[in-house]
Amino acid sequence: MVSSSDNKGLVILDTNILIYSASKPFNLESEMRRAGFSRVAVPSFVLDELISIGRSLDKRGKFARLALQIAKQFDIIRSDLEGADVDEKILRLAKEMGCAVATADAALRRRLSSEGIRVLLLKGRMIIDPSG
């Protein structure tokens, strides 16, 4: 198993930030690198959620399909975390791997922060790291 100290340069993306990057295009990868991350990854369960949302014919479904294409540009973390919702899985995976999470979801951001997980968030089309 990879130690969490090996994952300090890793950030995982949640569904929300991927959909946002599809709806208001900006270079997600360069923003992550600018924030100091050498590796950007998407958990497999986030891909599953994008596929599910993408089945809808509305605007959110369209952006989810575009977000899926964006997500496939990054490393994919295969995860078989069971139960719980996607947010809970992100929290558990980030704790297990000792990595940061990039999200545009305020509730998830608060939850991750309360657990001591480093969170990157969106301000306009820029990624900011409130921890410094």
What is the reported pTM? Answer: 0.89
Q: Is the pLDDT of residue 1 over 90?
A: no
Q: Considering the domain 4-128, what is its CATH architecture?
A: 3-Layer(aba) Sandwich (3.40)
Three-state secondary structure along 35-89? CCCCEEEEEHHHHHHHHHHHCCCCHHHHHHHHHHHHHCCCEEECCCCCCCCHHHH
115, two tokens: 């657990």
Percentage of the residues of the chain whose pLDDT score is greater than 70: 94
- Nearest Cα residue to 18 out of 104, 95, 108, 94: 104
pLDDT tens string 15-49: 999 999 999 888 888 989 988 899 999 999 999 99
Domain ranges of the chain: 4-128
110, two tokens: 């608060």
Query: CB-based contacts of 122: which residues, under 8 Å, 6+ apart?
Result: 17, 20, 104, 128
Distance CA 57, CA 42 (A): 24
